[in-house]
Amino acid sequence: MTLHGEVQDPKFLRFLERVGKEKQISFGTADLLVLDLLHREQAIPTALRPHLRKLRDSGVVESVGRGAGTRYLLSRSLYGAAGQGGEYTRRRGLDDETNKELLRKHLESAGKQGSPIADLQMVLPMLSRSKVRRLLQDLAAAGRVELFGERRGSRWRLVPTEKL
């Protein structure tokens, strides 16, 4: 086995050094492997998953979601130190309120004929169908959108202003 010792991202290394000094922790080889996999957006092998908690507690890694759907990514402060705040937002995703607003804007442009869920999924391609459906149900519970039609012909639309 050959390990190449070339530093791929000096800003990343400086950030880890700073965090290590500030929090008085050191990163082991397994920790560095986990961080590298997260940096390259690759899956964390089961054997390395126990290191995620330490990294999250140190502020180097953040978790998104809950339970089995939990994802991990490098912290906002890391991307900020590297001058890549937009990359952090892309990887983390948008919050629910922003996603709802994007759905609402699409439905506004769709008009009275509304939009099938397949079209709404294209608005938020990073989300699963069930997540898009949950956001729409939240909007419906708030009286902002409604579902009409049946089965495959069903569509979502904004609630007409005279109903509000």
Buried b (16+ CB within 10 A) or exposed e, 39-62: eeeeeeeeeeeebbebbeebebbb
pLDDT for 139: 95
Mean pLDDT, residues 40-66: 86
pLDDT tier at 163 (50, 70, 90 boundaries)? Answer: low
Tens digit of each residue's pLDDT (9 = 90 or more) over 96-131:
888 899 999 999 999 999 999 999 999 988 788 998
Give the C-alpha separation, 124 to 139, whole Å.
15
- The answer on pLDDT for 90 being more than 80 is no
Confidence (pTM): 0.56
Set out the domains of the chain in order of their start, with CATH numbers: 10-92 (1.10.10), 96-163 (1.10.10.10)
pLDDT for 82: 64
Tens digit of each residue's pLDDT (9 = 90 or more) over 56-77:
888 888 887 777 667 888 888 7
